[in-house]
């Protein structure tokens, strides 16, 4: 009799992720485990792995007025954090975001009581819903790991302590940088980095607008240094909302992508720079609706090819985007304004504070990606492959060094004798209003699912206009 490992992730139209989990499931089976996928997307998935798509009423909660149904609710700290994150990410009122988190938590409680998972995998720690599920796992004593695409393209990572700046790779940077690697692992890391560079691997679509070279050439003709500023998905990077406990751990000096952009543009006039700004694909709408026109020294390049942006600029600047890894893979200097896994690894330039940013960027432009930084980056890549990352892309499995078989063994080791609790109880003492809404939504779920299927396309088309 197998035990389940539950995966909560947005899987709608994510074919590469589904194929990966199917391969992983096959390696878990001999160890007595099977995956159970909970899709947080709004359209069903097809997979050989047992799965369920999140109930339609959780998606629908984004347009429901939440206040009448959450009065009198007792929220856990993680539910409060999740609601704040969901409100920030989706532009919802606090009450509507809270309602969505409560509906999701109730739905997950029912699923977990049914399958009794030995381990829960949360794809993206900073998803507001997953903050709430993390709290439920803690309440019930169910082991959980945070999962995400790895910092090197073609990899995946599973971490217990946290992601990005909350990962031990960043939190205890000196200890991680001192971990041993063999000469063979260093050579394999060199080969992997070269393969990633030549084949232009990336975690997301690279973009197809070919205009960066002309923009950079025009700026250089005017005697300017060219900075490529890469934005990140602020709410999904742990840095927003700023009220969350670890927001300033991720970005101690800047509140958001646009806050750092303002600082860059203020310096650009004094330092004779030209800034090419590419927002994160998930933030383009939010980051392109500026309240005032961009100054002449900044060009917005939302659809530009990421590799061209790196290649034709003098330096890549970001708060904490994993584009920092792409810049180093392509042998270009990078300035990291916040914190991620590269913090303290001697691979890039890190200003001490906001006041040091200008000098730090000029130093990066002058010195480039130095020989010592290149050597440190190869060592860091070797350490990441040995101690942190697993292969996601089949063709890179041998170079990464740890594939689905090793991943399955690692996940099984995280269960470590834990069993699902015999008694759990309710998450909270829900109000009469919430219980009534939940019962009603469950009753009409087939109609809601049908309605969302029929009208999702037209509604999205109308919204985009």
In the predicted model, is pLDDT for residue 462 greater than 80?
no
Task: Read off the pLDDT of residues 379-396 as tens digits, 9 standing for 90 and up.
Answer: 999 999 999 999 999 999
What token pair was written down for 178? 């001192």
Are residues 423 and 336 located together in one domain of the fold? no
Are residues 193 and 155 located together in one domain of the fold? no
What pLDDT band is residue 438 in, cutting at 50, 70 and 90?
Answer: confident
Q: Is residue 174 part of a domain?
A: no
- DSSP states of 195-234: HHHHTT--SS----B--HHHHHHHHHHTT-EEEEEE---G
**Separation between Cα atoms, residue 242 and residue 255, nearest integer Å:** 7
Residues in the chain: 465
Write the DSSP symbol of residue 256.
S
**Separation between Cα atoms, residue 340 and residue 324, nearest integer Å:** 9
Are residues 203 and 315 located together in one domain of the fold? yes
Residue range(s) defining the domain that contains residue 332: 181-387
Instruction: Rounding to the nearest 10 degrees, give the CA dihedral for residues 249, 250, 256, 259.
Output: 70
Q: Tell me the β-bridge partners of 34.
A: 4
The pLDDT score that the predictor gives to residue 426 is 52
Q: Is residue 356 part of a domain?
A: yes
Are residues 102 and 155 located together in one domain of the fold? yes
Task: Judge contact between 149 and 156, C-beta under 8 A.
Answer: yes
| Number of domains, the chain | 2
The pLDDT score that the predictor gives to residue 68 is 83
Q: Is residue 44 part of a domain?
A: yes
Q: Is residue 321 part of a domain?
A: yes
H helix or E strand, kind and range, residue 408: helix 404-415
Q: Which residue has tokens 């600029």?
A: 313
% of the chain residues with pLDDT over 70:
94
Task: Judge contact between 253 and 283, C-beta under 8 A.
Answer: no
Are residues 214 and 294 located together in one domain of the fold? yes
Task: Read off the pLDDT of residues 272-313 as tens digits, 9 standing for 90 and up.
Answer: 999 999 999 999 888 776 556 889 999 999 989 999 999 999
Q: Which residue has tokens 């020989």?
A: 371
Residue 384 vs residues 172, 232, 235, 349, 374: alpha-carbon distances, Å = 14, 22, 25, 20, 15
Q: Is residue 173 part of a domain?
A: no
Task: Judge contact between 104 and 58, C-beta under 8 A.
Answer: yes
What token pair was written down for 111? 């699923």
Cβ neighbours, 10 Å, residue 132: 27
CA 217 and chain centroid, separation: 33
In the predicted model, is pLDDT for residue 465 greater than 50?
no
In the predicted model, is pLDDT for residue 428 greater than 60?
no
- DSSP states of 49-109: S-EEEPPHHHHHGGGS--HHHHTT----HHHHHHHHHHHHHHT--HHHHHHHHHHHHHHHH
Q: Edge-to-edge strands of the sheet including 315-318?
A: 298-300, 273-278, 225-230, 315-318, 334-336
More confident residue, 447 or 405: 405
CATH classification of the domain holding 238 = 3.40.50.2000
Are residues 421 and 318 located together in one domain of the fold? no
Final residue before a domain boundary, out of 387, 417, 449: 387
Task: Judge contact between 33 and 23, C-beta under 8 A.
Answer: no
Q: Which residue has tokens 């991620």?
A: 340
Residue 275 vs residues 133, 243, 297, 319, 460: alpha-carbon distances, Å = 40, 30, 6, 15, 32
Q: Among 57-61, 271-275, 316-320, 363-367, whose mean pLDDT is lowest?
A: 57-61
Are residues 194 and 322 located together in one domain of the fold? yes
In the predicted model, is pLDDT for residue 448 greater than 90?
no
What pLDDT band is residue 453 in, cutting at 50, 70 and 90?
Answer: low
Task: Read off the pLDDT of residues 316-338 as tens digits, 9 standing for 90 and up.
Answer: 999 999 999 999 999 999 999 99
Are residues 278 and 320 located together in one domain of the fold? yes
Q: Tell me the β-bridge partners of 119.
A: 5
CATH classification of the domain holding 416 = 3.40.50
Write the DSSP symbol of residue 294.
P
Q: Is residue 175 part of a domain?
A: no
The pLDDT score that the predictor gives to residue 427 is 52
In the predicted model, is pLDDT for residue 456 greater than 80?
no
The pLDDT score that the predictor gives to residue 444 is 85
What pLDDT band is residue 455 in, cutting at 50, 70 and 90?
Answer: low
The pLDDT score that the predictor gives to residue 8 is 98
The pLDDT score that the predictor gives to residue 265 is 96
241 cis-preceded (ω within 30 degrees of 0)? yes
> Helix H segments across 272-351?
284-288, 306-311, 323-329
SS3 41: coil
Q: Is residue 157 part of a domain?
A: yes
The pLDDT score that the predictor gives to residue 432 is 80
**Separation between Cα atoms, residue 24 and residue 392, nearest integer Å:** 10
Q: Is residue 396 part of a domain?
A: no
Task: Judge contact between 132 and 97, C-beta under 8 A.
Answer: no
Are residues 198 and 149 located together in one domain of the fold? no
Are residues 144 and 37 located together in one domain of the fold? yes
What token pair was written down for 463? 């919204």
**Which residues fall within 8 angstroms of residue 122, CB to CB, at 6 or more apart?**
8, 130, 133, 134, 144, 145, 146, 147
The pLDDT score that the predictor gives to residue 416 is 76
Are residues 265 and 336 located together in one domain of the fold? yes
The pLDDT score that the predictor gives to residue 169 is 98
Are residues 221 and 368 located together in one domain of the fold? yes
% of the chain residues with pLDDT over 90:
76
Instruction: Decide: residue 407, CB within 10 A, 0-12 exposed, 13-18 middle, 19+ buried.
Output: buried
């Amino acid at each position: 009799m197998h035990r389940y490992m539950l995966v909560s992730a947005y899987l709608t139209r994510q074919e590469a992720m589904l194929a990966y989990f199917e391969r992983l499931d096959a390696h878990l089976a001999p160890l007595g485990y099977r995956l159970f996928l909970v899709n947080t997307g709004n359209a069903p998935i097809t997979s050989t792995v047992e799965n369920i798509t999140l109930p339609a009423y959780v998606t629908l909660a984004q347009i429901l007025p939440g206040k009448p149904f959450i009065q009198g609710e007792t929220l856990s700290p993680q539910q409060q954090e999740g609601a704040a994150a969901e409100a920030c990410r989706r532009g919802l009122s606090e009450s509507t975001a809270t309602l969505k988190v409560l509906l999701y938590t109730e739905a997950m409680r029912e699923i977990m009581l049914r399958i009794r998972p030995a381990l829960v995998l949360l794809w993206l720690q900073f998803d507001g819903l997953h903050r709430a599920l993390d709290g439920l796992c803690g309440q019930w004593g169910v082991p959980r790991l945070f999962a995400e695409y790895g910092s090197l393209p073609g990899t995946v990572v599973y971490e217990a302590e946290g992601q990005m700046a909350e990962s031990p790779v960043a939190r205890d940077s000196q200890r991680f940088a001192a971990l041993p690697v063999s000469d063979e692992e260093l050579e394999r890391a060199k080969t992997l980095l070269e393969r990633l560079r030549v084949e232009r691997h990336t975690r997301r679509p690279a973009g197809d607008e070919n205009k960066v070279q002309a923009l950079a050439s025009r700026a250089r003709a005017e005697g300017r240094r060219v900075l490529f500023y890469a934005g990140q998905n602020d709410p999904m990077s742990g840095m927003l909302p700023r009220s969350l406990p670890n927001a300033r751990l991720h970005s101690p000096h800047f509140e958001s992508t646009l806050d750092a952009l303002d600082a860059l543009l203020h310096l650009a006039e004094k330092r004779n720079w030209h800034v090419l700004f590419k927002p994160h694909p998930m933030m383009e709408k939010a980051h392109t609706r500026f309240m005032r026109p961009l100054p002449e020294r900044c060009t917005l390049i939302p659809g530009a090819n990421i590799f061209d942006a790196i290649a034709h600029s003098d330096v890549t600047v970001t708060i904490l985007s994993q584009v920092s890894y792409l810049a180093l893979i392509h042998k270009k200097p990078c300035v990291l304004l916040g914190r991620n896994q590269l913090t303290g690894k001697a691979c890039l330039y890190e200003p001490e504070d906001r006041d040091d940013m200008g000098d730090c960027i000029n130093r990066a432009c002058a010195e480039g990606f130095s020989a010592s930084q290149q050597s440190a980056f190869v060592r860091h890549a070797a350490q990441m492959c040995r101690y942190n990352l697993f292969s996601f892309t089949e063709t890179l499995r041998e170079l990464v060094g740890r594939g689905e078989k090793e991943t399955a063994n690692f996940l099984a080791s995280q269960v470590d004798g834990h069993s699902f609790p015999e008694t759990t109880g309710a998450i909270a003492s829900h109000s009469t209003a919430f219980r009534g809404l939940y019962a009603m939504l469950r009753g009409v779920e087939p109609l809601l699912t049908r309605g969302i299927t029929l009208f999702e396309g037209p509604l999205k088309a109308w919204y985009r206009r």
